[in-house]
Structure 1
Amino acid sequence: MKFAHKTLLTAAIAIFPLLAEAGAIDQLHQFLQNTRTLKAEFAQTVIGKNGRKPQLSSGLVAISRPGKLRWEIVKPYPQLVVGDGDKIWIYDPELQQVTVRKAGQAISGSPAALLSGNNDLEKNFTLKEAGEAEGMLWLEATPKVGDSGFDKVRLGFAGSDLKAMELQDSFGQTTLIRFSKVERNPALAAGTFKFTPPAGVDVVGE
């Protein structure tokens, strides 16, 4: 089963990692001050509200603050989201289609703004400590606007490492993400955050 474009974009802009220990909110602010780039592997499970079989996928993520991202699903169906700071490109090779959105519109009220925007988080989000569960410390972020596409995001940490993210979106779906091989402040090639639609694909939204 393939991801709908809106689901893919919502998940993609929700995967930016944080760091937390005792006092997750303080660690989030510290992370924003000290982290410029990040890359990791991820495993993702999307659970629908109607009890359908969960959708499983895995891939790679990279970010460069402010505003640049790459969210690449490798298995089972290749899909790619690239944000260059100006536009968000969503590429589905099987459908031969690229959807384009302005980065400001796509990210402004989204979980991506937790990391890719400025550090004035409380302007757009209500942040709170969410306790400990499953051996992780959790932070919860709730958007202050009603059209962000999601209800809340929970992030789970073990020590200083991001291990999990849970996104509850406005469509009744829950997206569970587990991160591994996280690298902070790696050197990333400039082409990581560039995208040119392949010849012959349909481009929607530009």
Structure 2
Amino acid sequence: MSKLKVAVLVAAFSFPGALAAAGMDDLKLFLSQTKSAKSRFAQTVVARNGKTTQKASGTFVFQRPGKFRFVYEQPYAQVIVGDGQKLWTWDKDLNQVTVKPMTQALGATPAALLTGDGQLERNFVLKDAGESDGLAWVEATPKQQDAGFERVRIGFGAGQLRNMEVRDNFGQTTLIQFTSFESNPKLDTAEFHFTPPKGADVVGD
């Protein structure tokens, strides 16, 4: 397993448009208008008892459907690439690469919410989750019992996706904040290709 859970890595981007009153409206606008994006992110993991257990930060690029690249800069180096067919995770410290089929790795995950084909109702129950902290929220609950998490909350504000909160089956919550993001930039296709570094231990399919 990698140090960071793939299921919470992926994540989200801005879209053009006016402030919407409801989270579901913002989500629909995001899905219809945002085909690619790039951003910085900060991630915090909070245990059931409220104690912060991990902080991380980095950058990502995304192209829908199913292509993305996350580069974790702090507290350690890690690269996660979805090329549309396979999901590659490289732990630099261990020089280990884990590879899985995209269909197996994504499925009903938070990543699929924002980088998939937009047919969310197949795998999630969606509902407006009200407004708090100046954001309009959507809550997504996976239909699959073995999804590995209880729910995801996605927060939109001022026409942009701001936050994502993932609560897993152990009561742990991962909080992701997005900054300096750009909607629909021109991206180099090389961003979504991954070649294992020389000497790396490759595990998986």
With structure 1 as the length reference, what TM-score do the two structures score?
0.91
The alpha-carbon deviation at position 72 of structure 1 amounts to 1.2
CA RMSD, 1 decimal: 1.8
Residue 16 (1) aligns with residue 12 (2): yes
Distance 1:126 1:51 in 2: 27
Distance 2:52 2:117 in 1: 38
Distance 2:149 2:52 in 1: 21
Q: What residue identity is the alignment partner of 2:203?
A: V
The alpha-carbon deviation at position 46 of structure 1 amounts to 0.9
Matched residue, 1:159:
158
The alpha-carbon deviation at position 18 of structure 1 amounts to 6.4
The alpha-carbon deviation at position 152 of structure 1 amounts to 0.6
Partner of 2:48: helix, strand, or coil? coil
Partner of 1:5: helix, strand, or coil? coil
More deviation, 25-34/175-184: 25-34
The alpha-carbon deviation at position 177 of structure 1 amounts to 0.8
Matched residue, 2:179:
180
Percent identity between matched residues is: 47
Closer, same or farther: CA 171–100 of 1 in aligned 2, 3 Å:
farther
Distance 1:196 1:169 in 2: 31
Q: Which has the higher contact order (CA 8 A, sep 6+)?
A: 2
Q: What residue identity is the alignment partner of 2:23?
A: A
Matched residue, 1:106:
105
Distance 1:50 1:87 in 2: 36
Q: Deviations over 1:31-71 (max 9, x none)?
A: 21221101110111012336654211110011100110111
Partner of 2:139: helix, strand, or coil? strand
CA contact (8 A) 1:18 1:28 kept: no
* Alignment map for 1:56-135 (pairs within 5 Å): 56-135=55-134
Matched residue, 1:195:
194
Partner of 1:200: helix, strand, or coil? coil
Matched residue, 1:5:
2
Distance 1:52 1:154 in 2: 20
Matched residue, 2:26:
27
Partner of 1:21: helix, strand, or coil? coil
CA contact (8 A) 2:150 2:169 kept: yes
With structure 2 as the length reference, what TM-score do the two structures score?
0.91
Residue 150 (1) aligns with residue 149 (2): yes
The alpha-carbon deviation at position 96 of structure 1 amounts to 1.2
CA contact (8 A) 2:126 2:141 kept: yes
Matched residue, 1:138:
137
Superposition misfits of 4+ residues, deviation over 6 angstroms: none
* Structure 1: 5+ residue stretches without partners: none
Question: How many residue pairs end up in the alignment?
Answer: 202
Distance 2:98 2:170 in 1: 20
Matched residue, 1:37:
36
Distance 1:128 1:109 in 2: 16
Q: What residue identity is the alignment partner of 1:31?
A: F
